[in-house]
Amino acid sequence: MHRASEDHRSVAFPHLVLPLLRDTARLLGAEPDRVALFMASGTGGWEVALTNTLPPGAQVLLPCAGHFANLWGDSARRLGFAVETVPEMEWGDAPSPERIASILAADTHHRFAAILVVHNETSTGVTADLPAIRAAIDKAGHPALLMIDGVSSIGSLEYRHDDWRVDVAITGSQKGLMLPAGLAIVAFSERALAAANTVTGPRAYFDLRPMLAQNADGYFPYTPSIPMLYGLRESVGMLLDEGLDQVAQRHARLARGVRAAVAAWRLPICCRNAASTSNTVTTIMTPAGIDARKIVSHAFTKYDLSLGGGLGPLAGKAFRIGHMGWLNEGMLFGALGLTAMALTDCGVPASAADACAAAAAVWHGDAS
Amino acid sequence: MHRASEDHRSVAFPHLVLPLLRDTARLLGAEPDRVALFMASGTGGWEVALTNTLPPGAQVLLPCAGHFANLWGDSARRLGFAVETVPEMEWGDAPSPERIASILAADTHHRFAAILVVHNETSTGVTADLPAIRAAIDKAGHPALLMIDGVSSIGSLEYRHDDWRVDVAITGSQKGLMLPAGLAIVAFSERALAAANTVTGPRAYFDLRPMLAQNADGYFPYTPSIPMLYGLRESVGMLLDEGLDQVAQRHARLARGVRAAVAAWRLPICCRNAASTSNTVTTIMTPAGIDARKIVSHAFTKYDLSLGGGLGPLAGKAFRIGHMGWLNEGMLFGALGLTAMALTDCGVPASAADACAAAAAVWHGDAS
Amino acid sequence: MHRASEDHRSVAFPHLVLPLLRDTARLLGAEPDRVALFMASGTGGWEVALTNTLPPGAQVLLPCAGHFANLWGDSARRLGFAVETVPEMEWGDAPSPERIASILAADTHHRFAAILVVHNETSTGVTADLPAIRAAIDKAGHPALLMIDGVSSIGSLEYRHDDWRVDVAITGSQKGLMLPAGLAIVAFSERALAAANTVTGPRAYFDLRPMLAQNADGYFPYTPSIPMLYGLRESVGMLLDEGLDQVAQRHARLARGVRAAVAAWRLPICCRNAASTSNTVTTIMTPAGIDARKIVSHAFTKYDLSLGGGLGPLAGKAFRIGHMGWLNEGMLFGALGLTAMALTDCGVPASAADACAAAAAVWHGDAS
Amino acid sequence: MHRASEDHRSVAFPHLVLPLLRDTARLLGAEPDRVALFMASGTGGWEVALTNTLPPGAQVLLPCAGHFANLWGDSARRLGFAVETVPEMEWGDAPSPERIASILAADTHHRFAAILVVHNETSTGVTADLPAIRAAIDKAGHPALLMIDGVSSIGSLEYRHDDWRVDVAITGSQKGLMLPAGLAIVAFSERALAAANTVTGPRAYFDLRPMLAQNADGYFPYTPSIPMLYGLRESVGMLLDEGLDQVAQRHARLARGVRAAVAAWRLPICCRNAASTSNTVTTIMTPAGIDARKIVSHAFTKYDLSLGGGLGPLAGKAFRIGHMGWLNEGMLFGALGLTAMALTDCGVPASAADACAAAAAVWHGDAS
């Protein structure tokens, strides 16, 4: 009778939780006993990562050229950490492993306790090269923890937590996992976990210790959202069934088609280096004098199409096409065709035909 | 507690049923007391129409050039009626009002008790001109009842039951109304209703009399599907909210784009007269030597696209793109792009780009 | 894209249909190639049974002492069959195997083509003894087909189609299978099936031949309700998982508790013979001067409890407590407690406490 | 297309959010511009309350005699606050306004920055008298903020945020609001809000300032759970439609019946003062030698009934019957009957009949 509110303490509950943690860990390439689920948006995951592993006031290095890196930095500052950004990065740049290596090499006193990297910067459509960054840290022989935000990458792009020796990874339920927001998934390394047991800063809701202790038995320290757990089981299962390599390849193939279409419109993308283009989101710059907000709003109102708006300094100057989750070529033909129509309506002549031609050339080898 | 199984007899039930009948009648352009809902697929509606209005063994005239006209004729024959088809019609033809007029004019003994017209023949993508057929009957001064199958037209194309003086119209829940199959909606004229009270043939489940008697009070003579009634309320409400004229115009606009795309592929459509092309389905002929079934199966398996197969004599020779329900340009860009890719894979070179270009020219005035 | 409307013709569809037919047949104890699913309420199943196996105008014997037997008889008459009822039956009686045997023995010319038996008469709460009736027919050496209505028995009470040598059995989706109305499930014997291929009466929508022919390949001759097929898969699976014997025992145990509670109120039940009481519904007679309709309406409005009303001649004189489907003791404690309160409010003093005491004595061995 | 992930930034989103905040505020009796929705369980709400209004290290007074008061105290300590509990309280006691008044009167230096009160202590089934506590604070002339946990009261019991001059109130989505866990609803007084703009402690995810700033325009600073917002709209709407007074009276009436049933079993309840018994949960003490955990587990496994277990020191010594949300008498008859059966099975003889009799006497005036 009172099941909805009570059964997260029932004897049956671990039968849901324990396999779910195992599969979620498999999705991230981590061990299950180092993965925790918090009831929060991905933003809450940032706080889990920082407060559980860093001493109060610790200094962190942030390659920052995007809205979500900015926000993560803000969170860190508001939590009392000292944030130093990698200099001379511009929006559209990926974090440079070389520059990170040289900054860390110069940090002989190991002031940096962690380096925070947004794996896939949703605002600019840029993907960081995590293995190269890991190698840069190793090369510098620096003990900083590598923390990554995988909100718009994990479940869509290749991600190998343990193989890549990431120390803390965060993702949310609402992007690659195709659920509503509400779950922050956080994976740790053994080293990060050890830190969680020694750091002394204030933390309560996001305290990892009771969470891992209870998760180990299949429970939660406070009422979890049971529908979200069932949803996560479903979406993790779908991704594992498709195969993580296949999922990554599908996103790569679809994204190449989207970029070809954008190229056909002769609109620049925000990402400044072809090797760093994101396979989950493409950020497109609008010509001077055209308010990108109008395009987004027009597409939504007239064509029932949800484009992402430009974020932060890109507000009004760029819009975004998302291409993660259960997409196929058909849905993207539609998105590209409608985007072309919305662009043209807003004063940016763009051909639906050229876009579809370019995408079809990529997806199907059609002569373009 | 036993609500699910019992409440179709509750005092609250008419609050659901009576407004639903009113709105459904409005959708058809008929009076509510001449509209009935039967728990059956649209096929069951044919039987409702025939057995409630025609004396046993009555003769009916059937303009027949399509799979669903064939099936309606079969139903009529199996129910003991004598079916005479309009001669010299070929698949792809629309019913000719002139020929109907001349047949009826020659039928001086009024042997034909009814004429059965499929408003929109789903197998060929051909729409009949009902007002012209009504005028033809009137001109011949013939008393035959005009019965129409509106399964793939009502809720998508213009339909005016009382204005057009149709005697019996049938539709189902699964096409323009975007629900699962399971409801047959049947509208009558006063004349057809009068016949229902005098004809003597056997009928039980599909007997109109207890249905109308109970419907008038908001009940049903047997357990209705309550979720289907709620679903119908939702979809009829959406169509009335959009506006019936707007719905028809939207389907016309989208269909013109689909036909332009098919023309760009240089594939013939089944419909032989441009004035009769259907705005809810386009039937496309495949070149000799190409099995259309392979295209449909390949599109389903490889691209997750549901094309319709060729029906009856068109099996293997044609496939269909449906474009009714809650479609917009984006979904059709996708369907056209995927269809092009599936065609090409199956040996029918077809350009996704040309299709999208042609459709965009229609939908958006893009130079093509 | 067009999946909803089209995929019942897809290559994938038989993967849903064929196992579903197998499991449904197992639920009935019949062979899968003799089970068909029609899109209709259970009432439509009556028509399937009659028109597919009996020659036009055939005579049928109907033990008739209840609303649904009456309605089935009406259907048969409206379809042109001659219905003879077993004499001297009163509402509350079960069909008497002895009397059936003697009627059939007297029918030396084998005028009766079938005997129609409602397995569980929902209006009176009476269950027929089908094996005894089968034995009576055998004893009389009479070739009449045994047709049964299992709408409120199959899926709740013991039913063994082939073992009991029933010729046609009908059930619907909306009672023991806990789905909305909309599916008529019909099982045949080999003899009944043979008849279906020779009888000549009119039938179209309910014609068994195209249905079985298409079902054999996993398809339907007209658009089926796909959600209903998925629902049926779910509910048949649940019943088979629980075990058919366990399901029947659960209903027996729960029903004994309900009857004990009614006895505690000193209200008579409609069923006149203790051996025939139904385990899925209990029909309770109200004292003279008390309108049972008021009780039903009051329970619905004030206590949110759906009781069944008295049907036919029992209107105003009886009400019904249904106890089929996913019920447990808790839900019935609630129904009994609320019924007691509604009864008392309407002038029939009834103790919730006594009812719960009596039920608990049955269900739990509590001293009563 | 990307609606699910993007539309919380769309122009349409405020049409959902702004009326929802207004109605939620009305439910709490607060002004909408002082109510915020955080994506977290109710536990996260404790952190919102503390970190946004108290200077780092502040001292708080906690009347603590229950599991959730304990946990709130733990959260406060882990966040660096100094928690002083009201002395000599035992589990089962309600917070004493007199004692609070005297403690505050003695606190002439105003060391206590806040007093934390669990409005309805779920573990013990005890409700605090908030107006009396407010009066005690006023009488002492003490400036401490009054913070209350309304997780198991708001939406079920009377609560008047502004009238009672509560400074911070917290509730969650998963109890009285009948949704999954995942939303923390927090209401402030003007004074508490002013503090939120001056306190300096670390906070990021739970920072009230960006939340209120964005909420004012109908947005959120990070991705909200859109289904939860729709769910909240639905459940708040239902409560306002029923009427807050009616909701409170319904819970009072149902709870009196439950307590009468428990009294019939001669089992003591945890609450030590009749004036403080909770109308949303009843905590029942099991006799010495009986492990209450076994009762809970047996009820769940055998009778599909979710009882709450004893929490903290009550583990094994008590169990709980919850009675909040969309309950009616029928569901509670069921819960009481099944609880009696589970108790008896576990060695605590308890009569289902006596329980139902006692409840019916309360709910319906039946002679007991």
Quote the tokens at residue B159: 């339909």
What distance in Å separates the CA atoms of residue C17 and residue C37, rounded to the nearest whole number? 10
Option in D75, D204, D228 nearest A75 (CB):
D204
Please provide the average confidence, as pLDDT, over all residues in chain D: 94
Quote the tokens at residue A164: 């890549």
Residue A2 in this model has a pLDDT that exceeds 60: no
Interface of A with D in 253-292 (CB under 8 A): none
DSSP D4-71: HHHGGGSTTHHHHHHHHHHHHHHHHTS-GGGEEEEES-HHHHHHHHHHHHS-TT-EEEE---SHHHHH
Residue A325 in this model has a pLDDT that exceeds 90: no
pLDDT digits 0-9 by tens, A86-96: 999 999 999 99
Residue B40 to residue C42, Cβ atoms within 8 A:
no
Residue A5 to residue D175, Cβ atoms within 8 A:
yes
Instruction: Count the residues in chain B.
Output: 368
Beta strands C82-85; C59-62: pairing state: parallel
Provide the edge-to-edge strand list for the sheet that holds D183-188.
D35-39, D183-188, D168-172, D145-149, D112-118, D59-62, D82-85
Taking alpha carbons only, the member of B212, B2, B39, B219 closest to residue C41 is: B39
pLDDT of residue D367: 76
Assign C211 to helix, strand or coil. Answer: helix
Q: How far is B364 from chain A (nearest CA, A)?
A: 7
Residue B4 in this model has a pLDDT that exceeds 50: no
Q: How far apart are the first and last CA of chain D?
A: 62
Q: What is the CA radius of gyration of chain D?
A: 21
Residue D2 in this model has a pLDDT that exceeds 60: no
Residue C360 to residue D338, Cβ atoms within 8 A:
no
What residues in C contact D355, CB-CB < 8 Å?
356
pLDDT of residue C2: 32
Q: Does D318 touch chain C (CB under 8 A)?
A: no
Question: Given pLDDT bands bounded at 50, 70 and 90, which one contains residue C368?
Answer: low
pLDDT digits 0-9 by tens, B126-158: 999 999 999 999 999 999 999 999 999 999 999
Q: What value does the mean pLDDT take over residues D92-114?
A: 97
Contact between A125 and A155 (Cβ < 8 Å): no
What distance in Å separates the CA atoms of residue D70 and residue D80, rounded to the nearest whole number? 15
For chain A, which chains pass the contact test of at least 3 CB pairs under 8 Å?
B, D
Q: For residue D204, what are the CA distances in angstroms to A15, A81, A185, A203, D58?
A: 34, 11, 18, 12, 19
Question: Given pLDDT bands bounded at 50, 70 and 90, which one contains residue C152?
Answer: very high
What distance in Å separates the CA atoms of residue D310 and residue D324, rounded to the nearest whole number? 18
Q: How far is B285 from chain A (nearest CA, A)?
A: 22
Quote the tokens at residue D87: 């002395």
pLDDT of residue C3: 38
Residue B344 to residue A364, Cβ atoms within 8 A:
yes
pLDDT of residue A6: 45
Q: Does B230 touch chain C (CB under 8 A)?
A: no
Q: How far is B244 from chain A (nearest CA, A)?
A: 19
pLDDT digits 0-9 by tens, B192-203: 999 999 998 999
Q: What value does the mean pLDDT take over residues C162-167?
A: 98
Range in C65-74, C178-187, D4-13 the model is least confident about = D4-13
Taking alpha carbons only, the member of B113, B122, B104, B115 closest to residue B61 is: B115
Provide the edge-to-edge strand list for the sheet that holds C308-309.
C281-285, C318-322, C308-309
Please provide the average confidence, as pLDDT, over all residues in chain B: 94
Taking alpha carbons only, the member of B75, B266, B287 closest to residue B170 is: B75
Quote the tokens at residue C107: 């029918």
Residue B1 in this model has a pLDDT that exceeds 80: no
Residues facing C91 on adjacent strands: C93
Residue B42 to residue C223, Cβ atoms within 8 A:
yes
Q: What value does the mean pLDDT take over residues D64-75?
A: 97
Q: CA nearest D11 in A: which residue?
A: A297
What residues in A contact B359, CB-CB < 8 Å?
337, 352
Q: What value does the mean pLDDT take over residues B274-284?
A: 97
Q: How far is B225 from chain C (nearest CA, A)?
A: 5
Question: Given pLDDT bands bounded at 50, 70 and 90, which one contains residue D368?
Answer: low
Residue B124 in this model has a pLDDT that exceeds 90: yes
Containing H/E element for C151?
none
Q: Does C335 touch chain D (CB under 8 A)?
A: yes
Q: Does C298 touch chain D (CB under 8 A)?
A: no
Residue type, C49: A
Residues facing B118 on adjacent strands: B149
Best residue in C328, C332, C366, C368 to probe D by mutation, most D CBs within 10 Å?
C366
For residues A109, A113, A118, A124, the Cα torsion angle rounded to the nearest 10 degrees is -50
ipTM: 0.91
DSSP B307-365: PEEP-GGGTTTEEEEE--SS--HHHHHHHHHHHHHHHHHTT----HHHHHHHHHHHHH-
Quote the tokens at residue B81: 């009626």
Q: Which residues contact B316 (CB under 8 A, 6 or more apart)?
A: B291, B292, B293, B310
Residue A174 in this model has a pLDDT that exceeds 90: no
Q: How far is A1 from chain B (nearest CA, A)?
A: 14
Instruction: Count the residues in chain A.
Output: 368
Share of chain A above pLDDT 70, in %: 98
Residue type, D24: T
Q: Does D55 touch chain A (CB under 8 A)?
A: no
Q: Which residues contact D277 (CB under 8 A, 6 or more apart)?
A: D125, D126, D127, D255, D259, D269, D271
Residue type, C159: Y
Contact between C100 and C115 (Cβ < 8 Å): yes
Question: Given pLDDT bands bounded at 50, 70 and 90, which one contains residue A368?
Answer: low
Range in A100-109, B18-27, B217-226, D276-285 the model is least confident about = B217-226
Residue D341 to residue C329, Cβ atoms within 8 A:
yes
Option in B330, B366, B368 nearest A334 (CB):
B330
What distance in Å separates the CA atoms of residue D116 and residue C4, rounded to the nearest whole number? 55
Q: CA nearest B310 in C: which residue?
A: C9
For chain D, which chains pass the contact test of at least 3 CB pairs under 8 Å?
A, C
Q: How far is A72 from chain D (nearest CA, A)?
A: 10
What distance in Å separates the CA atoms of residue D338 and residue D354, rounded to the nearest whole number? 12
Residue A202 to residue D79, Cβ atoms within 8 A:
yes
Q: Does D10 touch chain C (CB under 8 A)?
A: no
Q: What are phi and psi of C266, to 5 degrees?
A: 60, 35
Residue B259 in this model has a pLDDT that exceeds 90: yes
Q: For residue D255, what are the CA distances in angstroms to A338, C340, D152, D235, D251?
A: 57, 20, 14, 21, 6
pLDDT of residue C1: 33
- Burial environment of residue C121 by CB neighbours within 10 A (0 to 12, 13 to 18, 19 or more): buried
Q: What value does the mean pLDDT take over residues B301-312?
A: 92
Option in B304, B352, B368 nearest A356 (CB):
B352
Q: What value does the mean pLDDT take over residues C284-309?
A: 94
What distance in Å separates the CA atoms of residue C266 and residue C333, rounded to the nearest whole number? 18
Q: How far is D339 from chain C (nearest CA, A)?
A: 9
Residue type, C237: G
pLDDT of residue D4: 38
Residue D178 in this model has a pLDDT that exceeds 90: no
Residue C333 to residue D337, Cβ atoms within 8 A:
yes
